Amino acid sequence: MAQASPRPRPQVMKVTDAAATRIAQLMARGEGVGLRVGVKNGGCAGMEYTMEWAAEQGKFDEVVEDKGAKILIDPKAIMFLIGTEMDYQESTLKSGFVFNNPNQISACGCGESVEIKPAAAFT
């Protein structure tokens, strides 16, 4: 009897072409093994997204590799980031990564912090 293979796990986050291109460009500089994404308590709305270059991959990091970009998701942030799309946007006045998160309830007026609920799959 053939053993059933495990069902593939869906990616926690999706990455747009623009975000993947920008991450790959930055990774080409030798910044680290990937971009670590997480959330932390702070700001007037309650939470803030965090990003930093990871020198190494953590044992429990969730890894998203897409279009030449490698994102390491902090295990404590997974339940807040499920279903999120990461984008990179440029305008005349600013450029940066943007998180389109279905778990986000609200954001502060300055856009620096957000209120996020855990994904329904974990509640």
pLDDT of residue 93: 86
Question: Total structural domains in the chain?
Answer: 1
Residue 5 falls inside a structural domain: no
- Side chain identity at residue 74, one-letter code: D
Instruction: Give the residue numbers spanning the domain of 46.
Output: 13-122
User: Could you give the count of Cα atoms lying within 13 Å of 12 in the half-sphere of its Cβ?
Assistant: 24
| Residue 101 located in a structural domain | yes
Indicate which CATH number applies to the domain containing 30. 2.60.300.12
Measured distance CA(84)–CA(104) in Å, rounded? 9
Contact call for residues 103 and 81 (beta carbons, < 8 A): yes
Q: Has residue 1 been placed in a domain?
A: no
pLDDT for 89 equals 93
Extract the tokens encoding 113: 């912090």
Q: Give the pLDDT of residue 122.
A: 47
Per-residue pLDDT of the chain (123 residues; tens, 9 = 90+): 556 666 566 678 999 999 999 998 888 887 788 999 999 887 776 788 899 999 999 999 999 988 888 999 999 999 989 999 999 999 888 889 999 988 888 776 665 666 677 777 544
Determine, yes or no, domain membership for 6: no
